[in-house]
Amino acid sequence: MTKTLDPSLSWSDALLLGYPEMDAEHREFVELVGRLQSAPDEELGQHLAAFEAHACRHFGTEDAWMEDTGFPPRDCHQKEHAAVLQSLEEVQSLHAAFGRCDVVRSFADELARWFPGHADYLDSALAAWMSKRRHGGRPVVLRRQVATPHLTPLSP
């Protein structure tokens, strides 16, 4: 029996990368994916259109940053963006032609599974690159502390 990962995605400080423009786009991305997962069927078309507008702008902005600054590993990053947009186009076609809400929700679930890894690996590298180019240093990320068990320091 295969276990599938929970496709829920919600915004938290764990997704912050320390580059404010990117963090704002990511927060909106997470909100829009959540709407695709939870909206009533009759509202999916409008949420899919909102997601398309966001994804085109979001990915276009990141792609432009990579091109404009000569970001070395941009090819892989841009290919992931292009693959998401290609999938989006296919999902939109199926929804428009056949009312396939199940395909829209499946797409949203896959986005929820995909996004944290994309942000952790590809976007975090871009955030560090952009921060270094713009501010001369690494991004600063402040996260809320998650409650952890009290650890007693070892004595010397």
**Where are the domains positioned within the chain?**
13-135
Give the predicted TM-score (pTM) of the model. Answer: 0.84
pLDDT confidence bin for 150, thresholds 50/70/90: low
Q: 114 exposed, middle or buried (CB, 10 Å; 0-12, 13-18, 19+)?
A: middle
Q: Are 124 and 14 in contact (CB under 8 A)?
A: no
Report pLDDT for 134.
85
- pLDDT tens, residue by residue, 27-48: 999 999 999 999 999 999 999 9
d(CA 44, CA 86): 18
Report pLDDT for 138.
67
- pLDDT tens, residue by residue, 10-24: 999 999 999 999 999
**CATH code of the domain occupying 13-135:** 1.20.120.50
Report pLDDT for 112.
97
